[in-house]
Amino acid sequence: DSGVTQTPKHLITATGQRVTLRCSPRSGDLSVYWYQQSLDQGLQFLIQYYNGEERAKGNILERFSAQQFPDLHSELNLSSLELGDSALYFCASSRTGLDAYEQYFGPGTRLTVT
Amino acid sequence: AQSVAQPEDQVNVAEGNPLTVKCTYSVSGNPYLFWYVQYPNRGLQFLLKYITGDNLVKGSYGFEAEFNKSQTSFHLKKPSALVSDSALYFCAVRDLGGGFKTIFGAGTRLFVKA
C-alpha cells in the first residue's frame, strides 16, 4: 500500500458528461501528479501541483482541469467526455516538488466512457 | 526535448536466469532516472533511482540498474529472476533542464517462466 488513495475505483459514464476524480496524497507529501494510462498512449503525464500551486503541465486537454486544495488533496475534473477518454487515471505524490524524489502511485481510477 | 525509449515490448526469461530490461534516454541536461514496476490492476511502484554518484544503483526486490552516460542508458537488471517478477516495467526520466515533467517509457512486459 503506497499510502496514496484515489476515489472512485471505477467510473462508468456517458459521452458529454463531466466527472471528478479525487486523490489524497501520502501523509506529508506536498506534490501531487496526475497521469493517464491507456493501451495506445501508454502512461501520459497530465499535470503536477506542489503545495496548492500548479508546477508543471503535460499533455492535459483543455477539457480537463485539476486543483490541489489546502489540505493537499487533489481533484481532476474531466468534462465533455469522449470515448477516447476511457483510461486508467493515476494520481501520484512525492515529498516535495524537487526532481530527485520518487513518486508514489495510487491504485488508479478506471474511467469508462460509453 | 526529453524522451525515454524502452526498445523491447516484452522480455522472456526462465526462472533463475539473469534478466535485463533496457532503457535509453535523451535529455538536454543531467537526468534523474527511475524504474517503476506495475503489477496487474495496481498502480506503479518505485524500484530505484539514479540521481548522482555510483553508476550502479541497487533497489527493491534485488533489482539494480546501471547508469551509462556515454550510451545514455539505464538498464534494469536482476541476477536471478523469479516468477513473481513478471510484471510491466517502466523507465522514467526527469530532465533538470526541462522543467518538472517526468517522462515515462512505453513499458516492457517481463515474463518469467518457471
Pick the closest to residue A83 from A8, A17, A4 (CA basis). A17
Nearest to B44 among A48, A97, A105 (CB): A105
- Chain B residue with Cα closest to A6: B43
Q: Which residues numbered 22-81 in B keep a CB inside 8 Å of some CB on A? A: 32, 34, 36, 42-46, 49, 51
Q: Grid coordinates standing for A102?
A: 520518487
Give the gap in angstroms from C-alpha B107 to the nearest C-alpha of chain A: 8
Return the pLDDT at B66: 95
- Contact residues on chain B for A30, CB-CB shorter than 8 A: none
Neighbours of B54 (CB within 10 A): 9
**More confident call, B108 vs A58:** B108
Whether B111 contacts B19, CB under 8 Å: no
- What integer pLDDT is reported at residue B98 of this predicted model? 55
Residue A29 CA to its chain's centroid (Å): 15
**pLDDT at position B114:** 95
> What pLDDT, on a 0 to 100 scale, did the predictor assign at position A12?
97
Interface check A42 vs B, CB under 8 A: yes
A106 touches chain B (CB under 8 A): yes
pLDDT in tens, A17-55: 999 999 999 999 999 999 999 887 788 989 999 999 998
Interface with chain B: mutation pick from A57, A90, A103, highest number of B CBs within 10 Å:
A103
Mean pLDDT of A7-17: 97
Chain B CA closest to residue A89: B43
Mutating which of B32, B38, B44 best tests the A interface, going by the most A Cβ atoms within 10 A? B44
Distances (CA, A) of B84 to B13, B38, B104: 12, 12, 23
In angstroms, the separation between the Cα of residue B38 and the nearest Cα of chain A is: 10
Residue B51 has a pLDDT of 87
Low-confidence spans in chain B with pLDDT less than 70: 95-100
- Out of B32, B34, B102, the one facing A45 most closely (by C-beta) is B102
pLDDT tens digits for range A59-113 = 899 999 999 999 999 999 999 999 999 999 999 999 876 666 789 999 999 999 9
Instruction: Indicate left, alpha or beta for A95 from its phi (over 0: left) and psi (-120 to 50: alpha).
Output: alpha
